[in-house]
Amino acid sequence: MPRKKIKNLQAPRGTYDILPENQIYWDKIRRVVKELGEDYGFLRIDTPIIEDTDLFIRGTGQTTDIVQKQMYSFKTLGGDSLTLRPEGTPGVIRAYIENGMINLLHPLKFYYFGPMFRYEHPQAGRYRQFYQFGFETIGGQEPVLDVQLIQLFLHILRDLGLKKINVQINSLGCPECRPAFRRALVDYYRSRKNKLCPNCQKRLKINPLRLLDCKEEKCQPVKASAPMSLDYLCSQCHNHFKSVLEFLDELEIPYFLNHQLVRGLDYYTKTVFEVWPESNQGPAENQDTKEPISLGGGGRYDNLVKRLGGKPTPAAGFAAGIERIISLIKQQGMKIPSKSNPKVFLVQLGELGQRKSMKLFEELHKAEIKVAESISKPSIKSQLKIADKIGVRFSLIVGQQEALDRSVIIRDMQSGVQETVPRDKVVKELKKRLSKK
């Protein structure tokens, strides 16, 4: 009977492994997000990866692509409908309401960092499991809070070394003035329905604002002359947006008014923005599809807290795609130095040398001396070869004789000079030598 062939297991389509050689980018982004977030007064919040499906239907919007096409939803054994989170904002607002944060001093500022899940065609820059960091400000309606989020986003990218970044911005108005814009948009597109792609013909019925987000070439001539939301703003929304732009001018943050920017989520009100990388020819593109790819975006969502069951509370936020940022860092050829390069390598020989080396490793760690080792290698030659490849300044050699004599050989890896020092003085001697260079 023929033996059944064993299937080679692979990561699910649209997912990937973050290998050790790439962790340096992730560590850098985590560090910058944490440090700048705290400098701007944001506190870390972590919400579950799985949430009640209804949270995203009510929060993100029944007619959005995320809810209709991209959510990973499932039934539990108990019959509950849960969904792997496709975005971070609804979960943060749910946590805000559930934990009674309405009673805290506002505005509240939170940031998060973690995986999201959307079922879509995997391609460069788009994954089914992807990572985002995001910032949310809850409880303030002042235009300066919108601008602070944009300033923070750009500050993070600058600290990561990214250049040639631009901001695209628009205002979608509020529930008072948006219906007039929506009617004008429907009237305009209805008379041109036969010129639209099939998706836009559906959007015309269920979510007209998404017509402005279409990337199909067939729809671009129609979209180019479509009504603009700025022409339909009420006085309050007009003044809010005017103030946002004046703040950006004062901060010398360059921006482009993009009248077709609507974002893909139903909860946005007033300010919406996206941050884009630039190539020499304009916005950077997905190399597979030639579709422009933003690094992230956000805006104001003054009605989301109420929509999810809380009291009317203004809020704003943004999220950024970590894979896209890392891709851009690599494209621009930036080198991120490691903060954890060891200066010392432990070399051991024999079982007794191994035991003494392991104890010495702990002492060096307590003394905050970064040390590397290859404790399983039996040969001094192979260990010194590794030490040389890592680029340490000193190797500490503990063989059988050194273990018995309670001594350690300090080897200068540049000159090759070796010196035997007493075991109880090795940490002090190392600190003295490391401070000289």
Return the DSSP state at 109. E
Q: Is 289 labeled as ligand-binding? A: no
Cα(119)–Cα(55) distance, rounded to whole angstroms? Answer: 18
Residue 344 burial class via C-beta count within 10 angstroms: exposed 0-12, middle 13-18, buried 19 and up: buried
119 marked ligand binding residue: no
Q: Number of helices and strands (H, E) in the chain?
A: 15, 17
Rounded Cα distance between 209 and 203, Å, is 8
Q: Is 429 known to sit in a ligand binding site? A: no
Q: What sign does the dihedral 267-111-258-70 (CA atoms) show?
A: negative
Read off the tokens for 180: 């007039």
Q: Are strands 43-44 and 108-117 parallel, antiparallel or unpaired?
A: parallel
Is 132 annotated in some ligand binding site? Answer: yes
Q: Which residues contact 77 (CB under 8 A, 6 or more apart)?
A: none
Does residue 88 have a known ligand-binding role? Answer: yes
The response to whether 136 counts as a known ligand-binding position is yes
**Distance between CA 368 and CA 291 in Å, rounded?**
48
Helix axes 198-206, 178-190, angle to 10 degrees: 140
Q: Which residues contact 381 (CB under 8 A, 6 or more apart)?
A: none
What lies within 8 Å, CB to CB, of 396 at 6+ separation is 344, 345, 346, 347, 357, 360, 408, 409, 410, 411, 426, 430
Closest CA to 137 of 320, 300, 253: 300
Longest distance between any two alpha carbons in the chain, whole Å: 93
Ligand-binding annotation for 263, yes or no, is yes
Q: Which residues are annotated as a binding site for L-histidine?
A: 87-89, 118, 132, 136, 263, 267-268
The annotation places the binding site at 87-89, 118, 132, 136, 263, 267-268
